[in-house]
């Protein structure tokens, strides 16, 4: 008797999700998603169309509203039960429905790879019990896929970021998808990943946020027109689609419009819907949901016997983690930047692919991703006191954000009828403005008749090559200005810059003999304009001058250099500012030095 060995085809990783499913494979040591006509996500929806044919994914989603009896979504919630699910005039068990999705993914993978696929690593939530895992194995078998292994979703997500890590680490995986939320605390040790605890809510997801927004918009429409859009299945469906889109856009935009023409009728007249939603309004609506997820995080940590300080990495999974409020709350809670370099919709499938490659004994490299290495933002006033405005760094794009990135943030002017705002773009991680790197500055002229404190929206678009486009807009007037900054990322970190500045300073000092008669005046000379009689002035014998005075002196040096480049009114203004600064220095008046110094710095920036 001879033993025949079956050829082992490629082994893929499959995220069989509640809302969407994804298939991926490791190629050349890197996990990659296998797409179909550019679509990476397959909606986890199946249906039987009126012609009696099976439809899956987008085609099934498209018929959901028209043929709800012929379409099934979110079957994952029913895995573990064998109760039949009606589909048209037939009915199927949950594993059978899941098998239809797996079959579609298997075929997608086969087409993308050009050879049949029959093996997969499939992920399930950490909280799935044995009957739910068994149902998943059965679904795979029905789809003609050998489930090489069923692994936990948080384990897969951890593998994407830490496949090659052998250190002992604790990782929190926060997974907020369309229909479910869960958080797992995972221990990674000697290449073994163990889920220590898991907590969540199988009835909490992005769908709830859509429903909340829908209620908000529908309530306002009802108050205005006396028509409840929720009463008509079609109007409700259209509004839900619009709200879901609006929710997504609010993750990067400050304000969105929802517009649906001919959405209802009253007294024979068509009614149109237009609504404006701000991110702040949306955040107020969804805050209770986000708080529930944070409570789950606390419970999972408690169950694992750990505190937030003992967590080495926080991994974000699921489309709903793109919501800025989610990230913000987690940043507060853990006091660290979350890892979201890998697309949160794809992380689980990519991790399943990594596990699949490992089963096959193939090496997997560190996952290559493009992320911002620094936080980018602007200088903004955080509070007003009798001493004047307190300015701080206000982040817009956080460190570790995947590229390309686009975020916007709303601010307001500091005074009524303000005539201009200065957008000072900074890069760094410190709240104090001066501890970050200044990467650009521009002025947006405002409409002086604008009245009360006006809203200014600042948008950052950061490309893969590190080019940052900053746009400031006054929505009330449409006034807008933009600045393009090349290499916004590729330069020194704030700390490194300080050291580099010092190094250069030393170098310049050492080269002083190169400077001829036009030597800029030294600090001592500036402070003691009538210097002859001041040989024993405190500047010479007392303690070294403060950094502020040193900065002022450096500014005056720059001003000296700029003299040859300005003329007319500019030259007069420059002279006046220099004299005022010299006077402030001579008076030993730090407040005046700071104020005039800032004015001079601005002036030099614009005449540069």
Return residues touching ligand AMP (CB under 6 A): 17-20, 177-178, 205-207, 244, 247-248, 251, 318-320, 322-323, 345
Is residue 581 within 8 A of residue 596, CB to CB? The reply is yes
Collapsed DSSP state (helix, strand, coil) of residue 138: helix
Beta strands in 53-161 (DSSP E): 54-56, 71-73, 85-87, 90-92, 119-124, 146-152
Nearest-approach distance from CB 234 to ligand AMP, in angstroms: 21
Taking the CA atoms of 307, 309, 310 and 311 in sequence, report the sign of the dihedral they define: positive
Residue 284: CA atoms inside 13 Å, Cβ hemisphere, count? 5
- Straight-line distance from the first to the last Cα atom of the chain, in angstroms, rounded to the nearest whole number: 88
Q: How far is the CB of 36 from ligand AMP (least distance, A)?
A: 16
Name the minimum Å distance from CB 175 to ligand AMP.
Answer: 8
* CB 144, min distance to ligand AMP, A: 25
Nearer to ligand AMP, 125 or 597 (CB): 125
User: In the complex, what is the shortest distance from the CB of residue 471 to ligand AMP, in angstroms, rounded to a whole number?
Assistant: 20
HEC letters along 469-498: EEEEEECCCCEEEEEEECCCCCCCCHHHHH
Residues 531, 525: Cα–Cα separation, whole Å:
6
- Residue 344 C-beta: closest distance to ligand AMP, Å: 7
Nearer to ligand AMP, 209 or 562 (CB): 209
In the beta sheet, which residues pair with residue 317? Answer: 175
Instruction: Tell me the closest approach of the beta carbon of residue 198 to ligand AMP, in angstroms.
Output: 17
Contact 427, 436 (CB under 8 A): yes
Q: Min. distance of Cβ 447 from ligand AMP in angstroms?
A: 33
CA-CA distances (angstroms) from residue 533 to 486, 536, 587? 50, 8, 16
Minimum CB–partner distance for residue 482 and ligand AMP (Å): 24
Place of tokens 């003329």: 567
Angle between helices 94-113 and 130-142 (to 10 degrees): 50
Instruction: Return the number of the residue (125 or 148) whose C-beta is nearest ligand AMP.
Output: 125
Q: Toward ligand AMP, which CB reaches closer, 73 or 271?
A: 73
Cβ distance to ligand AMP smaller for residue 118 or 184: 184
CB 311 within 8 A of CB 339: no
Which CB sits closer to ligand AMP, 156 or 456? 156
Q: How far apart are CA 98 and CA 116, in angstroms?
A: 20
Place of tokens 């909606």: 43
Q: Can you read off the two tokens belonging to residue 360?
A: 């096959």
Asked whether 157 and 182 are in contact (CB, 8 A), the reply is no
Which C-beta is closer to ligand AMP: that of 75 or that of 439? 75
Residue number with CB closer to ligand AMP (39 or 432):
39
Pairing of strands 376-385, 42-43: unpaired
Report the residue number, 319 or 395, with the smaller CB distance to ligand AMP.
Answer: 319
CB 411 within 8 A of CB 455: yes
Query: Residue 249's closest CA among 189, 183, 323, 299?
Result: 323
Does residue 132 contact residue 155 with C-beta atoms inside 8 Å?
Answer: no
Question: Closer to ligand AMP at the Cβ: 62 or 493?
Answer: 62
**Minimal distance, residue 414 CB to ligand AMP, in Å:** 31
Q: Which is nearer to ligand AMP, 172 or 256 (CB)?
A: 256
CB 380 within 8 A of CB 436: no
Instruction: Count CB-CB contacts under 10 A for residue 415.
Output: 12
- List beta partners, residue 410: 457
User: Between residues 353 and 472, which has the closer beta carbon with respect to ligand AMP?
Assistant: 353
Beta bridge partners of 15: 22, 123
Distance (Å, rounded) from C-alpha 13 to C-alpha 194? 19
Q: What is the CA radius of gyration of the chain?
A: 31
CB of 41 to ligand AMP, least distance (A): 6
- 23 phi/psi in degrees, rounded to 5: -125, 140
Rounded to the nearest whole angstrom, what is the least distance from the CB of residue 294 to ligand AMP in the complex?
17
Toward ligand AMP, which CB reaches closer, 199 or 247? 247
CB of 62 to ligand AMP, least distance (A): 17
């Amino acid at each position: 008797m001879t033993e025949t060995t079956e050829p082992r085809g490629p082994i893929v990783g499959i995220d069989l999700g509640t809302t969407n499913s994804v298939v991926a494979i490791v190629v050349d040591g890197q996990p990659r998603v296998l797409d179909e006509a550019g679509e990476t996500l397959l909606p986890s929806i199946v249906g039987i169309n009126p012609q009696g044919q099976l439809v899956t994914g987008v085609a099934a989603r498209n018929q959901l509203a028209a043929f709800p009896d012929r379409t099934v979504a979110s079957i994952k919630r029913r895995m573990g039960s064998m109760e039949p699910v009606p589909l048209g005039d037939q009915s199927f068990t949950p594993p059978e429905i899941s098998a239809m999705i797996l079959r579609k993914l298997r075929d997608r993978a086969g087409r993308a790879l050009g050879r049949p696929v029959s093996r997969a690593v499939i992920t399930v939530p950490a909280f799935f019990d044995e009957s739910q895992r068994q149902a998943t194995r059965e679904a795979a078998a029905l789809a003609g896929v050998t489930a090489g292994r069923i692994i936990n979703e948080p384990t897969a997500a951890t593998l994407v970021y830490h496949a090659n890590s052998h250190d002992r680490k604790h990782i929190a995986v926060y997974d907020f998808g369309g229909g479910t939320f869960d958080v797992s605390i995972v221990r990674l040790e000697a290449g073994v990943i163990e889920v220590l605890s898991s907590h969540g809510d199988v009835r909490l997801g992005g769908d709830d946020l859509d429903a909340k927004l829908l209620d908000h918009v529908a309530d306002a429409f009802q108050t205005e027109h006396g028509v409840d859009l929720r009463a008509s299945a079609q109007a409700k469906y259209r509004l839900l689609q619009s709200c879901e889109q609006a929710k997504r856009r609010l993750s990067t935009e400050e304000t969105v419009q929802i517009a649906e023409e001919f959405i209802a009728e009253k007294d024979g007249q068509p009614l149109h819907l237009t609504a404006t939603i701000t991110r702040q309004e949306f955040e107020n609506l969804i805050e209770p949901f986000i708080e529930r997820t944070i409570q789950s995080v606390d419970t999972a940590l408690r169950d694992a016997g750990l505190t937030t300080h003992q967590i080495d990495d926080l991994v974000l999974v699921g489309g709903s983690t793109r919501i800025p409020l989610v990230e913000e709350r987690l940043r507060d809670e853990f006091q660290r930047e979350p890892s979201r370099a890998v697309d949160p919709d794809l992380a689980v499938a990519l991790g399943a692919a990594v596990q699949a490659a490992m089963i096959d004994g193939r090496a997997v490299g560190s996952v290559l991703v493009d992320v911002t290495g620094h936080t980018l933002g602007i200088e903004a006033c955080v509070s007003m006191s009798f001493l004047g405005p307190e300015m701080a760094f206000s982040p817009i794009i956080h460190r570790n954000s995947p590229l390309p990135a686009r975020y916007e943030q709303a601010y307001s002017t500091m005074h009524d009828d303000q005539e201009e705002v200065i957008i000072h773009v900074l890069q760094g991680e410190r709240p104090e403005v001066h501890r970050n790197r200044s990467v650009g500055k521009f002025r947006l002229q405002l409409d002086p008749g604008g009245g009360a404190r006006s809203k200014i929206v600042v948008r950052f678009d950061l490309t893969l090559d590190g080019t940052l486009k900053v746009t400031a807009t006054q929505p009330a007037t449409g006034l807008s200005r933009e600045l393009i900054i090349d290499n916004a990322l590729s330069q020194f970190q704030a700390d490194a810059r300080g050291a580099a500045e010092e190094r250069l300073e030393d170098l310049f000092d050492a080269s002083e003999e190169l400077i001829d008669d036009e030597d800029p005046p030294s600090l001592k000379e500036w402070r003691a304009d009538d210097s002859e009689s001041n040989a024993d002035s405190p500047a010479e014998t007392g303690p070294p001058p403060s950094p502020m005075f040193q900065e002022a002196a450096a500014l005056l040096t720059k001003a000296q250099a700029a003299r040859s480049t300005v003329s007319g009114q500019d030259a007069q203004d420059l002279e006046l500012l220099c004299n005022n600064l010299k006077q402030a220095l001579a008076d030993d008046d730090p407040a005046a030095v700071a104020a005039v110094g800032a004015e001079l710095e601005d002036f030099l920036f614009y005449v540069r």
